[in-house]
Amino acid sequence: MTVDLHLHTTSSDGRLSPIQLVNLAVQRGMEIIAITDHDSTDGLDEGLRAANAYPQLTLIPGIEVSTDTADSEVHILGYFINYRDPDFQAILQRMRDSRLTRGLKMLNKLASLGIHVKWDRIRELAAGGVLGRLHIAQAMLEAGYVPTIQDAFSRYIGRRGPAYAEREKLTPVEAVGLIRKVDGIAVLAHPAEGNGADKLIPEMKAAGMVGMEVYYNGYGPETIAGLLATAREFDLIPCGGSDYHGMENDPGKELGTATVPRESALRLIALAERNLEKVVDP
């Protein structure tokens, strides 16, 4: 596989720096990749500079925006975003600040359950990037409170867990609008997560969403076939990726292992080029 449109770096909750991620992608023979950190574009400049050294590699600047619904969380990917837009960055900063507040609330809830993890260690794990629940889960794993990262989420810090806390988020439609406002291409991330995202597709499509992940790591043939049918029904580009974070304890999500068709990435690139033509020559 030579296309991966869903990758994370140390700018959010990934383990590899943008440079390391680009180098790994080249080593694995990738042709088209996208950096899509959570609510952050801090790694894009570094990643794009690194990719310039490899003419065989196309790096799409992206983001993964966390959104909220009545009873779940939905993520929206944005590709080819004008990420230097100051209003866009102000919104992202507000969302990142809310992650810190939420993290402290969750730490207090964990303490009330007899689980004592250090805030300083969680900040170390975040390493200056966007602090997320994954960093809390890592700290819990290190301290021996849970046997796996997934166990931390399912037992404690998942949405219905006893240590979960809310933070500031956009709605899915608002996220699509935000991405469009910075000339980006909005795509629904991992829609088969049981979060009700499939019911929101008509509304997000009307707001300007043009794609959805179909070829996502862990999705079997039946799931992919069902999602592909939905993508065709709503005329959405079937995208996908590994959701790679570089975690040693998450071997199922390796860079380049999602079966993303090259045609999907080329359709995104063609759409981005048409959008750019409209901006340059309206």
For residue 44, give the nearest of 73, 85, 75, 3 by alpha carbon. Answer: 85
* Residue 214 in this model has a pLDDT that exceeds 60: yes
Domains of the chain, with CATH numbers? 3-85+184-280 (3.20.20.140)
Residue 188 backbone phi and psi in degrees, to 5: -75, 130
3-state secondary structure of 66: strand
* Mean pLDDT, rounded, for 37-50: 95
Contacting residues for 279 by C-beta, under 8 A, at least 6 apart: 183
User: According to the model, what pLDDT value does residue 250 have?
Assistant: 56
Q: What length does the chain have?
A: 282
Give dist(CA 103, CA 165) in Å, integer.
Answer: 8
Q: How would residue 277 be classed by pLDDT, with cut points 50, 70 and 90?
A: low
More confident residue, 82 or 125: 82
* Interval 150-199: pLDDT, tens: 899 999 998 889 999 888 789 999 999 999 999 999 999 999 987 778 88
User: According to the model, what pLDDT value does residue 106 have?
Assistant: 95
User: According to the model, what pLDDT value does residue 248 have?
Assistant: 60
Give dist(CA 122, CA 131) in Å, integer.
Answer: 8
* Interval 243-274: pLDDT, tens: 999 876 555 578 988 999 999 999 999 999 98
Question: Given the structure tokens 């340059």, which residue do they identify?
Answer: 280
* Mean pLDDT, rounded, for 39-68: 95
* Residue 232 in this model has a pLDDT that exceeds 80: yes
* Mean pLDDT, rounded, for 39-62: 96
Give dist(CA 139, CA 105) in Å, integer.
Answer: 15
User: According to the model, what pLDDT value does residue 55 have?
Assistant: 95
* Residue 281 in this model has a pLDDT that exceeds 70: no
* Token duo for residue 264: 């999907």
* Interval 57-73: pLDDT, tens: 999 999 999 898 877 88
Half-sphere CA count of 28, side-chain side, radius 13 A:
17
Give percent of the chain with pLDDT exceeding 70.
96
Give dist(CA 282, CA 280) in Å, integer.
Answer: 6
* Token duo for residue 96: 């990142």
Amino acid at 14: G
Neighbours of 94 (CB within 10 A): 11
Cα-trace Rg, the chain: 18
Please classify residue 87 by burial: count the beta carbons closer than 10 Å to its beta carbon, then call 0-12 exposed, 13-18 middle and 19+ buried. Answer: exposed
* Residue 118 in this model has a pLDDT that exceeds 90: yes
User: According to the model, what pLDDT value does residue 252 have?
Assistant: 59
Give dist(CA 269, CA 272) in Å, integer.
Answer: 5
* Mean pLDDT, rounded, for 93-108: 90
* Mean pLDDT, rounded, for 238-247: 92
Neighbours of 221 (CB within 10 A): 7
pTM, two decimals, is: 0.86
Query: What mean pLDDT, rounded, does the chain reach?
Result: 91
For residue 138, give the nearest of 147, 149, 150 by alpha carbon. Answer: 149
Question: Given the structure tokens 């959701």, which residue do they identify?
Answer: 243
Amino acid at 125: L
